[in-house]
């Protein structure tokens, strides 16, 4: 149960009761997302059970459920779109009101979760036989990255600069490598994560405490980057990005500062150089399917990013590790771990 980043408690609650069209899933593995420790974002609804990167086993099937059975190994999407509104019909599923309202009960950091009927209908995916529960915790974060790079129209041969080498930044590095990016450069303020970026596909790294634009020009033959991906919520990450986009290039804001923080945009420079600034949020069903295939076909191999496997009794430690963003990358909970 999340109260704030430094107050995460183990609490007993009843196993959820399911109704017609619903499923009960026993959680086997759940990843902590960087958004789970964005305190300004989460504390408004605290106390609550967070967690949305889950894999598990179906242990109870409600009446009228025909496509799933007890024992199925699954990944479950917490947010699902209506597939009928203007936004869904025009490919902007993550702008759908239904997607923003849906979730499972009580949350992925629980031993058992109830999957509502709408999620059963369009948000439950069987894990391939060769995919472990651990691997499956990467489906949702990879799908978000898939969506971002697709919207940003990453092309083979482009120079990609990823600002922030936490888990989302590293997944961007790995996917850009799989999709044929020409040169991949990553930055961060910690040596631990810069070394991780090199391991997972970056050709070069830049310490964010240095003159980032100058180092980028040196590394990239006196050119800025075709695609700059911001994966850190601190304001300096956003302002640095605006100085690193090549003419005709794109800046993808995968992470953003807190709501009250304004990013000063040199609009005249953006206009004169025909630079595109854009955001991406979440993942749509098609993105999730692509992510499952990428992991299953070993196009991207992400389990090496797991640095900590914890029990729910170590929940406070897990949140501390992710919030501190020092010597951890991917932290997952395994409820059966004692």
Tokens of 136: 């499956």
Q: Is the dihedral of CA 263, 268, 271, 273 positive or negative?
A: negative
Same domain, yes or no: 129 and 224: no
Per-position DSSP letters for 144-196, written without gaps between them: HHHHHHHHTT--TT-EEEEE--SHHHHHHHHHHHHTT-SEEEEEES-HHHHHH
- The stretch 315-334 carries a mean pLDDT of 94
Cis peptide before 102 (omega within 30 of 0): no
CATH number for position 133:
3.90.180.10
Number of domains making up the chain? 2
pLDDT at 168 over 90: yes
- The stretch 104-133 carries a mean pLDDT of 97
pLDDT-based confidence at 337, cuts 50/70/90? confident
Same domain, yes or no: 234 and 107: no
Instruction: Examine residue 253 and state whether it is found in any structural domain, yes or no.
Output: yes
Looking at residue 41, what is its pLDDT? 84
pLDDT-based confidence at 325, cuts 50/70/90? confident
> Which domain range does residue 50 map to?
2-141+283-333
CATH number for position 172:
3.40.50.720
Same domain, yes or no: 287 and 255: no
Looking at residue 40, what is its pLDDT? 82
Residue 171 has a CB neighbour count (10 Å cut-off) of 28
* pLDDT one-digit tens code per residue, 194-212: 999 999 999 999 999 999 9
Looking at residue 38, what is its pLDDT? 86
- The stretch 4-33 carries a mean pLDDT of 96
Instruction: Examine residue 146 and state whether it is found in any structural domain, yes or no.
Output: no
- The stretch 60-72 carries a mean pLDDT of 96
Looking at residue 338, what is its pLDDT? 67
* pLDDT one-digit tens code per residue, 247-270: 999 999 999 999 999 999 999 999
- The stretch 80-88 carries a mean pLDDT of 97
């Amino acid at each position: 149960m999340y109260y704030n980043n430094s107050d995460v408690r183990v609490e007993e609650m009843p196993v959820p009761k399911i109704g017609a069209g619903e499923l009960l899933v026993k959680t086997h593995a759940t990843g902590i997302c960087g958004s789970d420790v964005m305190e300004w974002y989460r504390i408004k609804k605290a106390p609550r059970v967070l967690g949305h990167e889950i894999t598990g086993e179906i242990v109870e099937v409600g009446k009228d459920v025909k496509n799933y059975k007890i024992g199925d190994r699954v990944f479950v999407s917490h947010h699902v779109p209506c597939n009928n509104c203007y936004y869904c019909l025009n490919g902007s599923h993550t702008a759908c009101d239904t997607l923003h309202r849906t979730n499972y009960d009580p949350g992925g950091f629980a031993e058992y979760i109830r999957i509502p009927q709408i999620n059963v209908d369009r948000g439950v995916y069987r894990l391939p036989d060769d995919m472990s529960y651990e691997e499956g915790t990467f489906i949702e974060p990879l799908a978000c990255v898939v969506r971002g790079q697709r919207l940003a129209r990453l092309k083979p041969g482009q120079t990609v600069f990823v600002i922030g080498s936490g888990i989302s930044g590293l997944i961007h590095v790995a996917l850009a490598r799989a999709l044929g990016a020409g040169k991949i450069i990553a930055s961060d303020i910690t040596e631990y994560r810069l070394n991780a970026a090199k391991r997972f596909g970056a050709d070069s790294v830049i310490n964010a405490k240095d003159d980032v634009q100058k180092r980028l020009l040196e590394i990239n033959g006196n050119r800025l980057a075709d695609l700059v991906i911001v994966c850190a919520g601190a304001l300096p990450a956003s302002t640095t990005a605006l100085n690193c986009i090549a003419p005709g290039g794109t800046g993808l804001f995968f992470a953003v500062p807190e709501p009250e923080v304004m990013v000063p945009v040199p609009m005249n420079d953006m206009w004169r150089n025909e630079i595109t600034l854009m955001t991406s949020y979440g993942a749509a069903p098609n993105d999730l399917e692509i992510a499952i295939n990428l992991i299953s076909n070993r196009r991207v191999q992400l389990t090496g990013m797991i640095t900590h496997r914890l029990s729910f009794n170590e929940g406070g430690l897990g949140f501390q590790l992710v919030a501190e963003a020092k010597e951890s990358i991917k932290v997952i909970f395994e409820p059966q771990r004692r």
